[in-house]
Amino acid sequence: MRVAGVAPRAARLALVGTGAWGLVLAKAAAGSPKLQIVCCVGRDRARLGRFVDATGIPAAASYAEVLRDPDIDGLLLTLPNEMHLPFAREAAAAGKHVYIEKPVANTLADGIVVGRLGQAHGVHVVVGHCARFLAGTRLIRAMIDEGRLGTVNLVEAAFCNDRGLRLTPEDWRWYGDRSPGGCLSQIAIHQFDTLRYLGGDLHSVSATCAHRSPLAAEVEDQWLVAATFADGKSGQVVSSWTSPGRYDIRVTGDRASVFYEVDQAYWGDAGRLHEGARLWVQSRGKGIAAREEIAVPAGDMFRDELEQFADAIVLGRAPEISADNGVQALAAVYASLASARDGGRACLLAETIAAAAAAVPGDTNETPGARP
> In the predicted model, is pLDDT for residue 279 greater than 80?
yes
* pLDDT for res 366: 56
Phi/psi-derived region of residue 181, left when phi > 0, alpha when psi is between -120 and 50, beta in every other case: left
What are the residue boundaries of the structural domains of the chain, listed by start? 131-300
* pLDDT for res 169: 97
What is the distance between the alpha carbons of residues 307 and 127, in angstroms, rounded to a whole number? 13
Whether residue 203 contacts residue 230, with contact meaning beta carbons closer than 8 Å, is answered with yes
**Which amino acid is present at 200?**
G
With 0.75 as the threshold, say if the pTM is over it. Answer: yes
What is the distance between the alpha carbons of residues 318 and 301, in angstroms, rounded to a whole number? 18
> In the predicted model, is pLDDT for residue 1 greater than 50?
no
> In the predicted model, is pLDDT for residue 370 greater than 60?
no
- First vs last Cα of the chain: how many Å apart? 17
Q: Over the stretch 84-141, which tens digit does the pLDDT of each residue have?
A: 999 999 999 999 999 999 999 999 999 999 999 999 999 999 999 999 999 999 999 9
* pLDDT for res 364: 54
Closest by CA to 189, choosing from 172, 171, 207, 174, is 207
Sign of CA dihedral 208, 212, 213, 215: positive
Closest by CA to 125, choosing from 349, 335, 370, is 370
Mean pLDDT, the chain, rounded, equals 94
What is the dotted CATH code of the domain comprising 131-300? 3.30.360.10
Torsion of CA 187, 125, 130, 43, to 10 degrees: -70
- 347-348 and 202-210 beta bridge pairing: antiparallel
Whether residue 208 contacts residue 337, with contact meaning beta carbons closer than 8 Å, is answered with no
Q: What's the mean pLDDT in 311-332?
A: 97
Whether residue 303 contacts residue 28, with contact meaning beta carbons closer than 8 Å, is answered with yes
What is the distance between the alpha carbons of residues 106 and 98, in angstroms, rounded to a whole number? 16
Q: Over the stretch 156-169, which tens digit does the pLDDT of each residue have?
A: 999 999 999 999 99
* pLDDT for res 367: 45
* pLDDT for res 267: 86
Residues pairing with 240 in the sheet: 160, 222
**Can you say how many angstroms the Cα of residue 91 is from the centroid of all Cα atoms in its chain?**
20
Whether residue 266 contacts residue 276, with contact meaning beta carbons closer than 8 Å, is answered with yes
